[in-house]
Structure 1
Amino acid sequence: MSINPLPPAKEPIGLGRLPVARWFLIMGLVAGIVLLAAILIAMMIGARAREMARTPAVAEQLDVLNMVLIVLFAAMLAFGIALAFILRYAVLKPIDQLAEQVRTVAAGDFDHTLHVDRPAELAELSSHVDSMRARIVSAWRAAADQAEELRRSNGELEQFAYVASHDLQEPLRKVASFTQMLEQRYGSQLDERAKQYIQYSVDGAKRMQLLINDLLDFSRVSRMTGGKSTVDTGKALDLALENLSAAIEDSEATVTRDELPVVRGNRVQLTQLFQNLVENAIKFRAGAAPRVHIGVTRSGGMWEFSCSDNGIGIEPKYADRIFLIFQRLHARDVYPGTGIGLALCRKIVEYHGGQLWLDGEAEGQGATFRWTLPASGDDDE
């Protein structure tokens, strides 16, 4: 298997730039020079002592000392050569082999086996590293298989979305329209129970259409082809409020705002985000007219938005549940909807690289939602 190579290794600095072989060579040369200097000094001292000696016995002992020094130097030289040989074939060469194998793996050949026979420490190290390599490759293959399965599932989801948006909508429209036509034409011949059944059928068909549309919106979030650009969130909020103009007028709602910034994102999705949050604030209102405020503050490279209202509020223990798809805290006949709105909002925010949460510590009545969006980069000071 060959996959993308790893990035190049960091360059060593300072004395770490010298390979270990050069360290051994330098230390060996220094030790040899010191030993040779010591022997030469000893021989010079012996020669001077011979000149000063008056008896043959002393001269003979000095000759023996010189011979011992020469033998010692030869032995040390042989020992040094043997040590260099051992280091070369028992340490340096296995290190080179392991380094070359690691370079091969780092270049992208992740199926290449790492193994050296000696010394015992390097053999154990190579075994552990090869085990980690095998585990990583196994995990990567499993992830690749899952990614392929996910791509296949996404393809099937797109096909389902196409079917849902075209083939399923038409039968639902027919069920609703012909059921209403049935009531209009034969209404005088139907009793109250029959008319109630017809009403149930029309309501079910309409709720199914709404559910399908919400599911389509939810599935389209991560498959948007429009891309991201600089978006004026003030204009996105204006468009959302325009879409909600009828609901705002009927409920006598008041929507205020801070000076909203420019962010990096998708205009259609951000409009949908504002629209869903404001619509929820209007829907879950208390007795007084809804008051909604959209605030914003800067936090590093992100903008933190907030949507506060004076509605019925949400208990903190439901802070996670409300963002799950199809999760409802109230009966459908009390507050209509499909239970997808907040799940769609969180998915939109996460698609933009931010987070959405319920502020359980907000002061006052009602609910406060906060979310973050990346700044565009054009408004940095």
Structure 2
Amino acid sequence: MFTGAVAGVAFVTGVVVTMVMSAQARALTPGTEVAAQLERLNVALIAMFAVLLACGVGLGIIVRYAVLKPVDQLTEQVRAVAAGDFDHAIHVDRPAELAELSSHIDSMRDRIVSAWRVATDQTEELRRSNGELEQFAYVASHDLQEPLRKVASFTQMLEQRYSPQLDERAKQYIHYAVDGAKRMQMLINDLLDFSRVGRVTGEKSVVDAGEALNIALENLSATIEDTGTTVTRDDLPKVKGNRLQLTQLFQNLIENAVKFRSEEPPRIHIGARRSGGTWEFSCADNGIGVDSKYADRIFLIFQRLHPRDVYPGTGIGLALCRKIVEYHGGQLWLDRDTQGGVDGRGATFRWTLPAAGDDDE
């Protein structure tokens, strides 16, 4: 617009100057031939100005319909898509450059819409799967638990009543049946705990990690006393999380360290250090340790590195710990860089949790 205004002013100024100069030339009373030549010059200038004016008008029309109008069409179509009409196709016929640009934009729109619809379908499928998981949790906590309790209790009653009539092999079979029922109950309870993470617990809030550790130690007081375990710790900070799940996290890691102890009395240290916007916690022990080649396998559900008769359990503890940490937005891993845990022996597990705000701290 600025360039067009300057061109128009220059054009009008040229016309005015030419007319003034022509009038001044006539006032000099030149000869007949000179006057005729001036008349022809005026006609030529007027014709030239007319041609320039026509070219300017034509160029404006061309720019308006060949450039500005397609750009407006493309803009309106993009605005329609941005406003939520994702099925609106974007297309401009001309010029070729805008047509190619609109084709690229429409291809991008189509890919985004396809990905969005796939994500919507997956979200719906996930919602349905969660509903089925809740139904399974209900069945597991009620319908499956009761038959197992009956199998265990009536089998034990059978042994008590008919014990004089049973030989050692029959008693051994009864023991296997009772043990299998109890292990099935443990598996079901562990699966329920695993499925509940992030679904049926309370909201996240500012939690004192030290208090969560105190509750975990109180829950394990009998085990700690029987095994002569010594637990030391750093000053633990406040974090953002769920108090019940963080207590379960500390409890599972400490219980795991006590279970896989060496011949010496267990020694466990809980540490914490700040790392940017998160706190990095650690649980180091002086137990039997973990071979680095199994560093990923131990976090898989129901994965065991030792026979059940040597170290009891279902093999879900570390998988549950990782799920709790990931639910809080952190990571849990086996430290492969340090030389063992306490006193250069055992293992060290590390995990991160989001730090509470400075005002909360």
- Aligned partner (choices 261, 285, 290) of residue 309 of structure 1: 285
Q: Provide the C-alpha distance between the structure 2 equivalents of 1:65 and 1:318, rounded to a whole number of angstroms.
A: 99
- Aligned partner (choices 356, 364, 367) of residue 347 of structure 2: 367
Once the two structures are superposed, residues 247-269 of structure 1 have per-residue CA deviations (whole angstroms, 9 ceiling, x without a partner) of 11121111111111111111110
**Structure 1 residue 55, shift from structure 2 partner:** 5.7
Q: Provide the C-alpha distance between the structure 1 equivalents of 2:261 and 2:201, rounded to a whole number of angstroms.
A: 36
What 5-or-longer segments of structure 2 have no aligned partner?
A: none
Contact 2:229 2:267 in 1 (8 A): yes
- Aligned partner (choices 196, 206, 211) of residue 182 of structure 2: 206
Q: Provide the C-alpha distance between the structure 2 equivalents of 1:311 and 1:42, rounded to a whole number of angstroms.
A: 105
SS of the residue corresponding to residue 223 of structure 1 reads coil
**Structure 1 residue 56, shift from structure 2 partner:** 5.2
What is the TM-score of this pair, normalised by structure 2? 0.92
Q: What residue identity is the alignment partner of 1:93?
A: K
Contact 1:50 1:58 in 2 (8 A): no
Q: Provide the C-alpha distance between the structure 2 equivalents of 1:48 and 1:358, rounded to a whole number of angstroms.
A: 100
SS of the residue corresponding to residue 315 of structure 2 reads coil
Task: Quote the residue 1:354 is aligned against.
Answer: 330
Once the two structures are superposed, residues 133-186 of structure 1 have per-residue CA deviations (whole angstroms, 9 ceiling, x without a partner) of 222222222221221121111111101100101111111111111111222222
Task: Quote the residue 1:14 is aligned against.
Answer: none
Q: What residue identity is the alignment partner of 2:323?
A: K
Task: Quote the residue 1:8 is aligned against.
Answer: none
Percent identical among aligned pairs is: 74
SS of the residue corresponding to residue 274 of structure 1 reads helix
Task: Quote the residue 2:232 is aligned against.
Answer: 256
Higher mean C-alpha displacement, 355-364 vs 62-71: 62-71
- Aligned partner (choices 58, 61, 64) of residue 88 of structure 1: 64
**Structure 1 residue 63, shift from structure 2 partner:** 4.1
Q: Provide the C-alpha distance between the structure 1 equivalents of 2:308 and 2:83, rounded to a whole number of angstroms.
A: 59
Q: Provide the C-alpha distance between the structure 2 equivalents of 1:330 and 1:45, rounded to a whole number of angstroms.
A: 110
Q: What residue identity is the alignment partner of 1:200?
A: Y
Q: Provide the C-alpha distance between the structure 2 equivalents of 1:315 and 1:72, rounded to a whole number of angstroms.
A: 93
Task: Quote the residue 1:135 is aligned against.
Answer: 111
Q: Provide the C-alpha distance between the structure 2 equivalents of 1:75 and 1:380, rounded to a whole number of angstroms.
A: 78
Q: Provide the C-alpha distance between the structure 2 equivalents of 1:240 and 1:345, rounded to a whole number of angstroms.
A: 14
What 5-or-longer segments of structure 1 have no aligned partner?
A: 1-24
Higher mean C-alpha displacement, 158-167 vs 112-121: 112-121
Contact 1:356 1:372 in 2 (8 A): yes
After superposition, the Cα gap between the structure-2 partners of 1:233 and 1:58, relative to the gap in structure 1 and judged at 3 Å, is same
**Within 5 Å, which residues of 2 pair with 1:117-132?**
117-132=93-108
Task: Quote the residue 2:357 is aligned against.
Answer: 377
- Aligned partner (choices 314, 321, 333) of residue 309 of structure 2: 333
Q: What residue identity is the alignment partner of 1:306?
A: S
After superposition, the Cα gap between the structure-2 partners of 1:159 and 1:55, relative to the gap in structure 1 and judged at 3 Å, is same
Once the two structures are superposed, residues 191-225 of structure 1 have per-residue CA deviations (whole angstroms, 9 ceiling, x without a partner) of 22211111111111111111100100000002024
Q: Provide the C-alpha distance between the structure 2 equivalents of 1:365 and 1:69, rounded to a whole number of angstroms.
A: 102
Q: Provide the C-alpha distance between the structure 1 equivalents of 2:172 and 2:323, rounded to a whole number of angstroms.
A: 38
Q: Provide the C-alpha distance between the structure 2 equivalents of 1:115 and 1:319, rounded to a whole number of angstroms.
A: 54
Q: What residue identity is the alignment partner of 2:156?
A: Q
Once the two structures are superposed, residues 260-284 of structure 1 have per-residue CA deviations (whole angstroms, 9 ceiling, x without a partner) of 1111111110000000111111111
Once the two structures are superposed, residues 35-83 of structure 1 have per-residue CA deviations (whole angstroms, 9 ceiling, x without a partner) of 4445555666676677789665555444444433322222121111111
Task: Quote the residue 1:270 is aligned against.
Answer: 246
Q: Provide the C-alpha distance between the structure 2 equivalents of 1:90 and 1:61, rounded to a whole number of angstroms.
A: 42
Contact 1:36 1:73 in 2 (8 A): no
Task: Quote the residue 2:88 is aligned against.
Answer: 112
- Aligned partner (choices 60, 70, 80) of residue 46 of structure 2: 70
Q: What residue identity is the alignment partner of 1:219?
A: S
Task: Quote the residue 1:101 is aligned against.
Answer: 77
After superposition, the Cα gap between the structure-2 partners of 1:225 and 1:312, relative to the gap in structure 1 and judged at 3 Å, is closer
After superposition, the Cα gap between the structure-2 partners of 1:305 and 1:379, relative to the gap in structure 1 and judged at 3 Å, is farther
Q: Provide the C-alpha distance between the structure 2 equivalents of 1:321 and 1:45, rounded to a whole number of angstroms.
A: 98
**Structure 1 residue 86, shift from structure 2 partner:** 1.2
**Structure 1 residue 345, shift from structure 2 partner:** 0.8
Contact 2:206 2:360 in 1 (8 A): no
SS of the residue corresponding to residue 295 of structure 1 reads strand
**Within 5 Å, which residues of 2 pair with 1:6-85?**
25-38=1-14, 40-41=16-17, 57-85=33-61
Contact 2:300 2:319 in 1 (8 A): yes
Q: What residue identity is the alignment partner of 1:193?
A: R
Q: Provide the C-alpha distance between the structure 2 equivalents of 1:142 and 1:269, rounded to a whole number of angstroms.
A: 33
Cα RMSD (Å): 2.1
SS of the residue corresponding to residue 93 of structure 2 reads coil
Once the two structures are superposed, residues 261-315 of structure 1 have per-residue CA deviations (whole angstroms, 9 ceiling, x without a partner) of 1111111100000001111111111221111111111122211111111111122
Contact 2:70 2:98 in 1 (8 A): yes
After superposition, the Cα gap between the structure-2 partners of 1:358 and 1:62, relative to the gap in structure 1 and judged at 3 Å, is farther
Pair 1:148-2:124 in alignment = yes
Q: Provide the C-alpha distance between the structure 2 equivalents of 1:359 and 1:320, rounded to a whole number of angstroms.
A: 11
What is the TM-score of this pair, normalised by structure 1? 0.87
Q: Provide the C-alpha distance between the structure 2 equivalents of 1:81 and 1:116, rounded to a whole number of angstroms.
A: 25
